[in-house]
Structure 1
C-alpha cells in the first residue's frame, strides 16, 4: 500500500505465522489510537506547560452473543493527573477526534480514562 510517497505492508496471519505486516484491522485500530493521542496532545500542549505522556490503547470487542453490540474500547492513560474539569474537556476532545468521527458511522467507540501508571 502507498500513500503520499509512504509505503506500507498489510498482511493477514496464515497457518500460525504472524505475517509480514499489520492486518488491515490493526491499521484501523492504530489510526484511531494515533489520531486520539495527537488530538489530545495538541490540546494539552496548548493548555499546560508540561502535560506528561498520553497512551491510547484500542481493544476490539466482538460480540459473543447474537444481537450483542460490537464496539471498540479506547483506554487513555495520562502520566499526570489532570483537574476533573480538564479531564471532561479531554474526554469531549477525544470523542470529536477526526478518526473517531469517521468510524463512529460503523462502530461504537467507548472511551475510558485511567489514572497514571
Structure 2
C-alpha cells in the first residue's frame, strides 16, 4: 500500500493576516507581527518553516537514539533565517543542535550525521518544485 500524502489546508478571511491552518485533524494559526499589520496571534510563516525543520531534526535524532539505546536526555535545536524580504536561492538556515545525556564523542558525532537525515532537511536541501492550480 502506498503511503498517503501529507496535506495541509490554509484559510484566510477578512482577518488581515491571521491564517487558519488545518492538517490531519490538527489546527494552528499563522500570522504576522503587529508592525506589519498582523495580530501576532500565531507564528510567522518563516518561523513555521524553521519549526518544521527543528521538530523534524529532533524527532529523527530521538528515533535513532532510542533505537540504538543511547543515553540521550534532551535535544535542543536552535534555528535562524534571514528576514523574508532578504530571502533568495542563496538563503542560509543556521542550525545549532545541543544534546544532554551520557553520550560518547562517537555517539555525538553519529547523532549530528543523523540530523541531516530528517525528511524536512532533505526537502529543503534540494530544489523544490511547486505546482499551483486553481
User: Do Structure 1 and Structure 2 share a fold, with TM-score over 0.5?
Assistant: yes
Per-residue deviation, 1:97: 0.7
Asked if 2 retains the 8 angstrom alpha-carbon contact of 1:61 and 1:73, the reply is no
**2:23 counterpart of 1:3:** yes
Q: TM-score, normalised by structure 2?
A: 0.66
CA distance in 2, matches of 1:60, 1:89: 25
**Counterpart in 1 of 2:98?**
77
Instruction: Select the structure with the greater relative contact order (CA < 8 A; seq sep ≥ 6).
Output: 1
CA distance in 1, matches of 2:55, 2:39: 22
Q: TM-score, normalised by structure 1?
A: 0.74
Per-residue deviation, 1:51: 1.7
CA distance in 2, matches of 1:58, 1:24: 14
Q: Work out which of the two has the higher radius of gyration on C-alpha atoms and give 1 or 2.
A: 2
Give CA-to-partner distance per residue, 1:86-116, whole Å, 9 cap, x none.
Answer: 222212211111010011126xxxxxxxxxx
5+ long unaligned stretches in structure 1: 107-117
Q: Please list, as runs of the form range in 1=range in 2, the aligned pairs for 1:33-48 lying within 5 A after superposition.
A: 33-48=54-69
Asked if 1 retains the 8 angstrom alpha-carbon contact of 2:72 and 2:102, the reply is no
